[in-house]
Amino acid sequence: MLRLPVLLILLLLVACGGGVYHTVKPGQNLYRISRAYNVDKNYLARVNGISDPSLIKVGTRLYIPGATKTKYVAPVKENVQPPPPAPKPAPVKRTKSVSPAASPTRKTTAAPQVNATSIKKLSWPLRGKIVRSFSTQARAGGGKGIEIAVRSGSPVLAAEAGKAIYSGDGVNGYGHLIILQHENELFTVYGFNQKNLVLQGDFVSQGEKIALSGTPPAGGQARLHFEVRRGKQAVDPILYLP
């Protein structure tokens, strides 16, 4: 069987496309959104873990499988809520004028510039003891990720909604492996699985069971190998987990 490195698979499959996120605006409902993107309403609800399609809230981010860009969704006019009235300005108190010579010196403090980059939080694929921490150095028997010790056969959950761009056992050192593609060139990798429960091309929702945990091909304690990649670059998964 042909053995390929996981990075090469990511590069080969990134062109497959995963989908986009649509933020629900006032007056929009699941039916109108599904019509705009030409996606079945029930399928859209299942992918996003929505049990009651009539209860989606404004501001909810819906994952739209297969879409390449966000689209305009016409709102239902009767559902659009008017914005709250602007608060009235406080009355201005008149004070006696003070000559420049008598006025105290004022110190002007500039507001600090906040340049912190927000990091999207993922959910844990499963809970267990971290027995191998992230390293930027490639290591035998696994890639640049973390390893979580669990009982063999434990359910492995999707850390975020996305598309399975790889599901198989053709990557050397990973055993049964799943790669999910998410929004903004984000990928999650799930290795050492006993059994994969999704196929390549499947769309999954956040928290959906995608595999059963197993043991590394080289043997040892049962565990999950978990990676997060921003494009081609491996990043520390702990930064993305709550």
Say how far apart CA 181 and CA 190 lie, in whole Å. 12
Say how far apart CA 203 and CA 160 lie, in whole Å. 11
Distance spanning both ends of the chain, measured CA to CA: 38
pLDDT higher than 60, residue 139: no
pTM across the whole model: 0.61
Q: What are the pLDDT digits (tens) for 188-198?
A: 999 999 999 99
Write down the pLDDT at residue 80.
42
Q: What is the mean pLDDT of the chain?
A: 79
Confidence tier at 143 by pLDDT (50, 70, 90): low
Write down the pLDDT at residue 62.
86
Say how far apart CA 153 and CA 147 lie, in whole Å. 15
Residues above pLDDT 70, as percent of the chain: 72
Q: What are the pLDDT digits (tens) for 2-54?
A: 455 555 555 544 444 567 889 999 888 888 888 888 888 888 888 888 888 77
Q: What are the pLDDT digits (tens) for 54-104?
A: 778 888 888 888 788 888 888 876 444 455 565 566 665 555 544 444 444
- 120 burial class (0-12, 13-18, 19+ CB within 10 angstroms)? exposed
Give mean pLDDT, residues 176-192: 94
Q: Poorest-confidence range of 45-54, 122-131, 196-205, 209-218? A: 45-54
Long-range contacts of 20-23 (CB under 8 A, 24+ apart): 20/63, 20/64, 20/67, 20/68, 20/69, 20/70, 20/183, 21/61, 21/62, 21/63, 21/64, 21/70, 21/183, 22/61, 22/62, 22/64, 22/67, 22/70, 22/71, 22/73, 23/59, 23/60, 23/61, 23/62
